[in-house]
Amino acid sequence: MQDPKQLRALADDFRARIVSLLRERAASTTELAAALESPKGTVGHHLKVLETAGLVRVVRTRKVRALTEKFYGRVARLFVLKSDESLPADLRGGAISALMLRRAADDLIASGDEQETAGLVNIRLANKDRVRFERRLNRLVADYQAAEDPTGERHVLAYAMYRAKPGLPPRKDDA
């Protein structure tokens, strides 16, 4: 039997993949199931959870024989998630950012892109500088989104800015 936390993480990852696919366009349960290579029932269940949470909604319907096919879309183009007291405890402390970065890592590996640009930078910042850089990153993300071209190739920008655990202290002779 799997650990409940592992099952929750798998469900969260699956839902994040659905929301990510809906970034491109509205889609039916059938289309999402095909893209995710998962049963329609599983996708339908997770769509209902996302709809109840207010992250997706039915944006259009159409009649297919005797059934009504629903097309789901995201309620926002951008979700900004800040870790604070309003989040459940298991989503605080970097869990949301880690989940998003794991998703980005999985996508990057699956893409096989050999021309990616990546970096991991560790620096010491005063709080005022951290706030300044955070604002600049948010403006950069807005510019990135504004440059979207429906005829262009898909690209992903992943970043996280977080307070790291203390590393080595500065040497006394470096001061």
| In a domain? residue 151 | no
Q: Is there a domain that residue 29 lies in? A: yes
Q: What is the pLDDT of residues 11-40, one digit of tens each?
A: 777 888 888 888 878 999 999 999 889 999
- What's the distance, CA 109 to chain centroid? 16
Number of domains the chain is built from: 1
Please return the burial class of 99, using the count of CB atoms within 10 Å of its CB with bins 0-12, 13-18 and 19+. middle
Tell me, yes or no, whether 68 lies in a domain: yes
**Is 69 within the bounds of a domain?**
yes
Does residue 137 lie in a domain region?
no
Tell me, what CATH number does 32's domain have? 1.10.10.10
In sequence order, the β-bridge partners of residue 67 are 64
- Please report whether residue 104 resides in a domain: no
Q: Which domain holds residue 62?
A: 7-76
Q: What are 66-93's pLDDT values in tens digits?
A: 889 999 998 877 666 565 666 666 666 6
Whether 170 is covered by a domain: the verdict is: no
Rounded Cα distance between 72 and 38, Å, is: 17
- Domain membership of residue 159 (yes or no) is no
Evaluate if pTM is beyond 0.75. no
Contacts of 87 (CB under 8 A, 6+ apart): 81, 96
Answer for the pair 22, 72: CB distance below 8 angstroms, yes or no. yes
